């Protein structure tokens, strides 16, 4: 919890104790405790910002203040109604205090663990338009494909400045995310207060002339920051990480001029993506295959369309490296060393993008099936899969309605097929006990995630530590050219991880 939130709860507690004991309350200075609680509540709203989890704490401060006035009136008039009112208020306040303390801890304004690398982190955001491609998610045939790209980069260690918000556009993004997930939007409202370790427009590090580049692809109905735990760790270790917000795939993308593109709902997206890795259901007429407006005009699959976003982004990075309009990243991107990683839909697109573009030197797929074309053609780059076992997928299905069995089998067999067909280095990492959200930040949004079936039985922070360790080892070896002992075999520090490798 934040400092004024803690102070508010302590003020509520002190005011309740003083009000419950007449001798304490009769002392003049003690009577001020309820006024102090109201004042602190006002300060918390004004300084840190209100959130629904603190409504019981706000209400409690006001209730205790009114009860204090009622007690003083009782002392003067000795009226039975006021006595009963004060007693009822104290009883309700005791219950309310427990609720007021529990809610902010169950749904906290959480903090990300500090990255362990030697660099500070800077961040910049860019709006790019691909004038050569139509927009697949709108009916207007003249609309061009737009992307919002956020870049995290190694910054000078002495850099200082305000920390960047986790979700700068939390309102519209979380509203769309909640709609797609079938949840009320207000439960995610507090995410606008979460801060990261990155600083906007911080000076880039100068100890090296340039840094390797990694592209990150979000999951369906996600957002570009959804793996901040992983992105910040990589940036602190000397990588420039480029996250692509893909309109239509993301929950919502808010562009600098204010216009928004919201994503498809879950059923629409599944219908559009599944044909890329699952054969059509028996008896399904070909003309019933769902098609987005832009794809219907130009032909092709949704996964292939999204993979073109990756190719376009690499092209734009070449222009950015020549002349960054912010005068920060010019010459800092080592585009001879590019890797790519993605989660869920992003992982599917990673496979297709790596098949298409050999500028991507290393491919990391997290918990995603592979497109049929990738299974057939294979991959030539060093590749890693970080996923979980069948038992963990079935456990998620039982607890929170995860993938049906046909999806589980496609997930496991397609990844395994591409891995076993690699001509170069490959790694297959399975982490038992992980659910899908354990690969993202979502698993740490609330400590209740495992109990709610949102996260698996594995400790969420340990899951992130494992993903970060193998991610860093893979890119260190195959993009940075650094030693990576973790890739040499099973690791003693991660005995539960099932590790396989294919090294030519």
pLDDT per residue as tens digits for the range 167-214: 999 999 999 999 998 899 999 999 999 999 999 999 999 999 999 999
Which tokens in the block code for residue 67? 């009860």
DSSP annotation string for 404-427: -HHHHHHHHHHHHHHHHT-SS-EE
* Whole-number CA gyration radius for the chain: 26
Q: Considering the chain, what percentage of its residues have pLDDT values greater than 90?
A: 73
Distance CA 484, CA 473 (A): 5
Distance CA 237, CA 482 (A): 12
Please write the tens of the pLDDT for every residue from 21-57: 766 655 555 667 788 899 999 999 999 999 999 999 9
Residue 289's pLDDT band, with cuts at 50, 70 and 90, is very low
Which residue pairs, CB below 8 angstroms and at least 24 apart, start in 167-174? 167/191, 167/192, 167/194, 167/223, 167/225, 169/252, 169/254, 172/252, 172/254, 172/260, 173/223, 173/250, 173/251, 173/252, 173/254, 174/251
Please write the tens of the pLDDT for every residue from 47-57: 999 999 999 99
Are the beta carbons of 65 and 35 closer than 8 angstroms?
yes
Residue 17's pLDDT band, with cuts at 50, 70 and 90, is confident
Residue 81 pLDDT: 56
Cα angle for residues 97, 101, 102 (degrees, 5° grid): 115
Does the pLDDT value for residue 350 go beyond 80? yes
Q: Considering the chain, what percentage of its residues have pLDDT values greater than 70?
A: 90
Please write the tens of the pLDDT for every residue from 464-502: 999 999 999 999 999 999 999 999 998 899 999 999 999
Does the pLDDT value for residue 344 go beyond 90? yes
Which tokens in the block code for residue 22? 């007449």
Please write the tens of the pLDDT for every residue from 303-338: 999 999 999 999 999 999 999 999 999 999 999 999
Does the pLDDT value for residue 15 go beyond 90? no
Within 8 A by CB and 6+ apart from 443, the residues are 435, 437, 449, 454, 455, 460, 463, 464
Residue 288 pLDDT: 44
Listed range (149-153, 224-228, 282-286) with the worst mean pLDDT: 282-286
Are the beta carbons of 40 and 88 closer than 8 angstroms?
no
**β 498-502/426-430 pair status:** antiparallel
CA nearest neighbour of 426 among 355, 499, 376: 499
**Beta bridge mates, 149:** 126, 244
CA nearest neighbour of 240 among 268, 205, 264: 205
Please write the tens of the pLDDT for every residue from 214-247: 999 999 999 999 999 999 999 999 999 999 999 9
Average pLDDT on 364-384 reads 97
Residue 287 pLDDT: 43
Residue 158 pLDDT: 87
Distance CA 427, CA 474 (A): 9
Does the pLDDT value for residue 373 go beyond 60? yes
Please write the tens of the pLDDT for every residue from 121-149: 999 999 999 999 999 887 788 899 999 99
Which residue ranges make up each domain of the chain? 3-106, 120-502
CA nearest neighbour of 177 among 441, 463, 387, 468: 441
Quick one: CA dihedral 159, 162, 163, 168, positive or negative? negative
Residue 82 pLDDT: 52
Residues in the chain: 504
pTM: 0.92
Distance CA 134, CA 75 (A): 76
Class at the top of the CATH hierarchy for domain 120-502: alpha beta
Does the pLDDT value for residue 150 go beyond 90? yes
Residue 74's pLDDT band, with cuts at 50, 70 and 90, is low
**Beta bridge mates, 214:** 241, 339
Does the pLDDT value for residue 371 go beyond 60? yes
Over the chain, what is the mean pLDDT? 90
Which position has the token pair 């590090």?
205
E strand intervals along 401-488:
426-430
Average pLDDT on 254-275 reads 88
Distance CA 338, CA 382 (A): 12
Are the beta carbons of 301 and 293 closer than 8 angstroms?
no
Residue 248's pLDDT band, with cuts at 50, 70 and 90, is very high
Where is mean pLDDT largest: 84-93, 257-266, 326-335? Answer: 326-335
3-class DSSP string for 54-81:
HHHHHHHHHHHHHHHHHHHHHHHHCCHH
Please write the tens of the pLDDT for every residue from 434-457: 999 999 999 999 999 999 999 999
Residue 20 pLDDT: 74
Does the pLDDT value for residue 87 go beyond 80? no
């Amino acid at each position: 919890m934040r400092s004024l939130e803690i102070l508010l709860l302590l003020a509520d507690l002190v005011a309740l104790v003083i009000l419950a004991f007449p001798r304490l309350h009769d002392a003049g200075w003690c009577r001020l405790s309820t006024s102090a609680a109201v004042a602190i509540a006002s300060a918390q709203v004004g300084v840190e910002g209100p959130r629904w989890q603190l409504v019981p704490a706000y209400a409690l401060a006001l209730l205790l203040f009114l009860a204090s006035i009622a007690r003083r009136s009782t002392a003067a008039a000795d009226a039975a109604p006021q006595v009963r009112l004060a007693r009822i208020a104290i009883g309700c306040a005791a219950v309310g205090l427990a609720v007021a303390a529990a809610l902010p801890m169950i749904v906290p304004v959480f903090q990300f663990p500090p990255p362990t690398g030697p660099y500070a982190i800077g961040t910049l955001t860019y709006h790019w338009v691909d004038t050569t491609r139509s927009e697949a998610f709108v009916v207007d045939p003249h609309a061009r494909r737009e992307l919002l790209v956020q870049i995290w980069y190694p910054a000078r260690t002495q850099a200082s400045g305000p920390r960047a918000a986790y979700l700068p556009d939390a309102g519209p993004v979380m509203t769309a995310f909640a709609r797609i997930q079938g949840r009320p939007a207000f439960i995610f409202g507090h995410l606008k207060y979460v801060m990261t370790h990155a600083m906007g427009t911080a000076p880039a590090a100068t100890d090296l002339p340039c840094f390797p580049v990694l592209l990150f692809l979000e999951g369906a109905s996600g957002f570009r920051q959804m793996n901040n735990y992983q992105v910040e760790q990589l940036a602190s270790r000397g990588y420039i990480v480029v996250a692509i917000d893909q309109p239509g795939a993301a929950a919502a993308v808010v562009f600098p001029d204010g216009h928004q593109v919201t994503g498809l709902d879950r059923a629409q997206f599944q219908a559009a993506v599944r044909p890329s890795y699952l054969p059509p259901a028996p008896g399904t007429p070909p003309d019933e295959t769902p098609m987005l407006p832009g794809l219907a005009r130009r032909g092709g699959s949704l996964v292939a369309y999204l993979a073109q976003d990756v190719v376009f982004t690499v092209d734009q990075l070449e222009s950015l490296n020549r002349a960054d309009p912010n005068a920060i990243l010019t010459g800092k991107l080592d585009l001879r060393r590019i890797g790519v990683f993605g989660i869920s839909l992003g992982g599917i697109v990673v496979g297709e993008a790596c098949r298409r573009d050999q500028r991507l030197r290393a491919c990391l797929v997290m918990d995603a099936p592979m497109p049929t074309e990738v299974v057939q053609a294979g991959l030539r780059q060093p590749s890693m899969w970080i996923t979980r076992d069948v038992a963990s997928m079935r456990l998620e299905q039982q607890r929170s309605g995860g993938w049906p069995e046909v999806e589980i089998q496609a997930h496991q067999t397609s990844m395994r097929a591409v891995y076993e067909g690699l001509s170069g280095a490959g790694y297959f990492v399975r982490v038992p006990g992980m659910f899908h959200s354990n690969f993202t930040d979502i698993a740490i949004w609330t400590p209740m995630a495992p109990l709610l079936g949102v996260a698996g039985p594995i400790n969420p922070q340990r899951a992130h530590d494992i993903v970060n360790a193998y991610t860093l080892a893979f890119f260190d070896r195959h993009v940075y050219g650094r030693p990576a002992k973790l890739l040499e075999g099973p690791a003693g520090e991660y005995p539960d991880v099932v590790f396989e490798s294919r090294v030519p």
